[in-house]
C-alpha cells in the first residue's frame, strides 16, 4: 500500500510506502518538528524539510532533511566499501519515494542514469568539431572515441549502441527522432550513389 502526501509549495503529490510513513510518524524528533506538514519541493525537484532554528546566542542554525535520503538511510541497506554512495530514483521521479524506486548508487551510475543533457548538440556523448560530429563514451573515467559522423543523429546512435553494450538500457540513452535518422541516412546514401555514377562516354 502507498500513501500520497501534499507539499507546501507545490500541487504535486509525494508517493511513499504506507509502512514507511507510519514508521517515520512514530519518530519523536520528526513529530516535534512537524516534518510531514512542512515538506517542500526543492528547485532541483527533491522533496525536503528545512528550518532555521534560533540558538541561545541569537544566531540561527539551518537544518535540512531530504526525504529520499532519510528513507534510504533507515530502510535500505547501504553497500560497504570506501565508495561514496548516493540515492538514485530508479524511475527518475523525485516525488516517488517508495522503497522500490530508491537504491544506493555510485556517482558514475547516478550520472549514467540522469536524463539531463548539457550539450549544444542535444545528444549525450556527441560533440561537434568543424563539420563533423564525434561520438565518445566514458568508462572508468576514461574517454573512448566511437568515431566521427556526418550527422549528430548518427553519432548519437553510435553512443546508444556502445552504452547498451557496456551498461544495458539506462536513462542516458539518446532519444533520436526517427525522421532525423531516416533523413540523415537518405542524404548519405544519395551522396555515395552519386559518387559511383560513371561519366557517360562521348559518341565518336
CATH number for the domain harbouring residue 90: 3.90.75
Does a structural domain hold residue 173? Answer: no
Q: What is the mean pLDDT of the chain?
A: 85
Contacts of 174 (CB under 8 A, 6+ apart): 123, 124, 125, 126, 156, 157, 159, 160
Does a structural domain hold residue 174? Answer: no
Does a structural domain hold residue 202? Answer: no
Which run of H or E residues covers position 186?
helix 178-196
pLDDT in tens, 15-53: 999 999 999 999 999 999 999 999 999 988 999 999 999
DSSP-derived secondary structure letter, 95 = T
Q: Which residue has the cell 524528533?
A: 29
Does a structural domain hold residue 140? Answer: no
With contact defined as beta carbons under 8 Å apart, do 40 and 10 qualify?
Answer: yes
Domain that holds residue 21: 2-112
Half-sphere exposure of 119 (CA within 13 A, CB side): 19
With contact defined as beta carbons under 8 Å apart, do 59 and 25 qualify?
Answer: no
Closest by CA to 35, choosing from 4, 3, 7, 15, is 7
Number of domains in the chain: 1
Predicted local confidence at residue 38, as pLDDT: 96
Q: Which residue has the cell 547501504?
A: 78
Predicted local confidence at residue 184, as pLDDT: 46
What are the strands of the beta sheet with 126-129, ordered from one edge? Answer: 126-129, 132-139, 142-149
Instruction: Say which residue, 14 or 129, is predicted with more confidence.
Output: 14
Q: Where residue 196 falls among pLDDT bands split at 50, 70, 90?
A: very low
What is the greatest pairwise CA distance in the chain?
107
The Cα 125–Cα 162 span in angstroms is 11
pLDDT in tens, 51-89: 999 999 999 999 999 999 999 999 999 998 888 899 999
List C-alpha distances in Å: 199 to 164, 188, 191, 196: 44, 21, 16, 9
The Cα 93–Cα 196 span in angstroms is 51
Phi, psi of 10 (to 5 degrees): -155, 155
Predicted local confidence at residue 171, as pLDDT: 75
Amino acid at each position: 500500500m502507498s500513501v500520497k502526501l501534499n507539499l507546501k509549495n507545490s500541487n504535486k503529490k509525494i508517493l511513499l510506502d504506507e509502512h514507511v510513513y507510519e514508521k517515520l510518524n512514530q519518530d519523536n524528533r520528526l513529530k516535534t518538528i512537524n516534518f510531514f506538514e512542512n515538506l517542500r519541493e526543492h528547485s532541483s525537484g527533491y522533496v525536503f524539510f528545512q528550518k532555521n532554528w534560533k540558538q541561545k546566542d541569537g544566531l540561527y542554525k539551518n537544518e535540512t532533511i531530504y526525504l529520499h535520503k532519510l528513507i534510504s538511510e533507515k530502510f535500505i541497506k547501504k553497500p560497504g566499501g570506501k565508495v561514496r554512495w548516493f540515492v538514485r530514483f530508479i524511475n527518475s521521479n523525485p516525488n516517488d519515494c517508495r522503497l522500490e524506486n530508491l537504491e544506493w548508487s555510485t556517482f558514475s551510475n547516478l550520472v549514467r542514469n540522469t536524463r539531463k543533457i548539457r550539450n549544444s548538440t542535444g545528444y549525450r556523448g556527441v560533440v561537434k568539431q568543424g563539420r563533423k560530429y564525434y561520438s565518445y563514451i566514458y568508462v572508468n573515467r576514461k574517454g573512448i572515441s566511437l568515431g566521427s559522423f556526418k550527422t549528430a543523429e548518427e553519432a548519437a546512435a553510435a553512443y546508444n549502441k556502445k552504452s547498451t553494450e557496456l551498461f544495458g538500457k539506462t536513462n542516458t540513452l539518446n532519444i533520436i527522432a526517427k525522421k532525423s535518422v531516416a533523413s540523415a541516412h537518405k542524404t548519405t546514401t544519395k551522396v555515395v550513389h552519386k559518387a559511383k555514377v560513371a561519366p557517360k562516354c562521348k559518341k565518336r
